[in-house]
Structure formats: structure tokens, C-alpha cells
Structure 1
Amino acid sequence: MRTRALRYFEVVAQEGSIRRAADVLHVAPSAISRQVQKLEEQLSVTLMQRHKQGMLLTTAGDQLLRFIRDMRQREDYFLSHLADAEALKTGTLRLATGGGFISDLIGNAIADFARTYPGVRIDLNICGGDEVIRLVQDDEAELGIVFHQHNNAYVESLLTCRQPLVLMVSPEHRLATCTELSLQEVAGETFAVLTEAFHIRQLLTLWENKSRIHLRAQLTCNSFDALKLYVRTGLAVTVLPRFSASSEIRDGTLHAIDLVDEVLTNTSVHLVMRKGRQTTAAMQTMRDYIGRTMEAFS
């Protein structure tokens, strides 16, 4: 059914007269009559009957008028729902991130966002960097955070911040008094490392290949929390970005030592989205919170 014909029919029903409807719509009465007639032909029913008191609706006409009004209410609700989503009252925001960002992301950006916009649901996917890029490219996540420079032509960086890797040790470790070291100087230490799925481990492997020095890894795992807990025992050291252990550094349970190796210090974090994607109000607002509150981007 044509929208114009339905609109003409509705106004005639409201005004009770084709002539009065023509005055309201600023349309010739003959044009309104033709549209109503076409509507009746399309539906194979009589919608109106002419009486002394004007145009009266038939049973079919009354049902059509109810349908039109119900449709308008649904349209108004839909538009209002969209407006609420744009005003960040409702909706869902899908994020993907590497495990090293969890404390920083949830404790700062997501917590502040959720307090301000409690009606917006956040779906958070925690995975490796390559999977974050895939989720963003395939529109399964609107925003992603990764610890490496991606080479995906379909994904762009919205925010970037240099974040060098540092050596993490327990406060009781013999190296805890050092402020700067090269990885070669500590190559004889026992290490705890992430699996090869993580870009941090890939950088360590690259350093090993370039320097022809093999690091002795006593513990290999896919959890940042497990890695930090093991280092806190004093049994091993590890290499991580400073922000991934910021709370432990502040409370004195871990100590960070700067590294001078270029392959480990020329590193950065990225907030990414699919190139060409329409940015929603929720995405833009979360981007602002991430850039303003996360230690990884400061």
C-alpha cells in the first residue's frame, strides 16, 4: 500500500469530508478521491460511504484506520528507540581486547562509561591480538584494542600510544634495585612467558633469533594474571608492558625495570575499528573514555 494513499485516507477519515481533507493537505479534492479509490481497488473492499453528514467509514475502513494508527505508533516507538540509542540510553557496544588490557580497560574506561550510561550493554570479548583484528574486520566487534601495529587493510587505528615493554620482577628479586637493563644482561635468568599466540611472546622470539640467545622459560601460559602471580613468587622474571601490571607496581608487589632493546621498546597499543564503518554515538563516547582514562593510552 502506498504511503500517500494511506495518509490521504487517514485525513479524510479524521475530517469526515474529502473537501476538508483537501484543505488540510493542500491537495485537490479530485487527487484525494483518486488515491482513496485506488486503495479500495487494491484491497478489494469499500472503505468509505458518502452520507449527508460526510464520509463514513465502513467496517473495513475502520479496521484500516486502526492499522494505520497502530503502524504510526510503531514507527514513533522505533524512531524514539533509535533516538534513545543515540543518546546512549539503550543499545549494545561490542568490544574486543587482548588480555593485558583487562584491568586498565574495565577499571577505568568501562567502569566510567557504565556509571554514566547504565542503559548501554557492553559485550566484551577477550582474545589474542590477531583474533581482535578479525572480530573488528568482520563487524563482530565495533572497537578493538591490540598491542601491536596491525597490517590489515580493512582496519584502521583510532588511537595509538607508544608502550615499551619492561622487565617485571618481584620486589625481593636481586634485580629489583636496577632501573635499566638490556635483555642480554638478564638472559641467564629464569623467565615466565606468554604463549606464541601473543604478540609480546612473538617479539621475544624475534629478539632471541636476532641475538642468538635462548631465554630459559620455566613457565609458559596464556594468562597475564597467572604470569604476574608467578613472577611475584620470585621464581622467574617476565617481559610485559607497564600498564598491564600498573596496580601491582603501585602496591609494590611487582617492580618494573626499563629495557633498552629496540625490538622490545619500539612497541605501541592501538584502538581499532573497521575502516569505513559508521561511527555510532556509543563508539565515539567509548573512544573518548578510552583515550582519556586508560593508562595504556596515556
Structure 2
Amino acid sequence: MSLVQDRRISHFHEAARLGSVRAAADFLNVAPSAVSRQITQLEHELGMPLLERHRRGVKPTEAGERVLEYYRQRLAQQEVLLESLQSLKGLQSGSLVLAIGEGFIAGLAGPLSRFSARYPGIELKVNLCGTNEVIRQVVEDEAHLGLVFHPTRDPKIRTHVSRPQPVCAVVNPQHALAQQFGAQEGSRRAAGEAA
């Protein structure tokens, strides 16, 4: 696959994405015959058809879907590389998309505004969503970072930082939980004073 020319695979990608060779040609500003020729050469190099041609347009075959997945991964890796190179230039420009669970936003307002003040050339976008949507956005490269409470395990996700958080309950002072935890707290204080 490393021998596949970028132009051929990009022409194929646009035809599959737009649903026709003519639409891909218009998008790429080339003749439809040039797009068709590049796709035919790509199919010949790989030894299998990548598009099903119909009256209403084209649709990727199963092999075509695999090539498209490879190409999307390459584009995502290229984006990661370009962003890491941007970071070497001192975060002068670029974009950062955060997918954040709603419970975090109040605590992040200060750090996010300090980040924006320190790096004004970085476009910062915050998507507020539930845990599953945060994970989906990170997996599908719609967000660069995600922040959630107790995420489900996913082999496509890498955790950079994890912190335990206490769980607090607000109850009436007469509630059994308040009395139970009040008694435990009193015992801890008495033990501390005795020591």
C-alpha cells in the first residue's frame, strides 16, 4: 500500500465521498476522465475493483471501504504530525477541540481562559456532551482530547491522566446517611485527639 500514489488514492476518496466521478472531478478541478483514469490505475495496482459503478454514481466495494479507512487513518496521522510540528513552533497557531462531560465545565472555565490568553493563535473549541459521545468524538478524531467521569474501556482510547474523585451526597441532617457518616467522622476526630 505504501506504493500507492497519493493522487490516485485522493481521487478515489473524493469519488467515493461525493458519490460520482463527475462530482469528484468538479471538486478537484480536473477532467472526469483524469479522475476515472487515476481510479482505474489504483484498482489495477491493487488487483481488485474499489468502486461499483451505477447509473446514479459510484459506491465503494468492500475492498474500497478498506482503502478508504486506510486513507482516513493516514489523514488523521498527518493531522497529528502537523499539530505536533505546530507545538514545536511554540503554539503560535492551530486548533484544539476538547470534548468534555458537562460536570467539568465549571471547573475548567479558568484554565481554558488562561490557555486562550496565553496562546491567542490557537482556536479553542469545547464540545459539551455525555461520556459515550466524548469517547466517540475522540475515537473518530472529531476531538483531540476528552474529559469524562469513569469512562468505559475502549482499545482505541489512551488515557493520559486519571484522578480519583470523592463522591459527596447532600442530605437532610436527620437522614440516616448523615447520622451514620457524622458518627464515623466523630470517631475519627476522637482517635486523632487521643493520639
Q: TM-score range by the shorter chain?
A: 0.3 to 0.5
Q: TM-score w.r.t. structure 1 length?
A: 0.29
Q: Which has the higher contact order (CA 8 A, sep 6+)?
A: 1
Question: Higher helix proportion, which one?
Answer: 2
Q: Which has the higher strand share?
A: 1
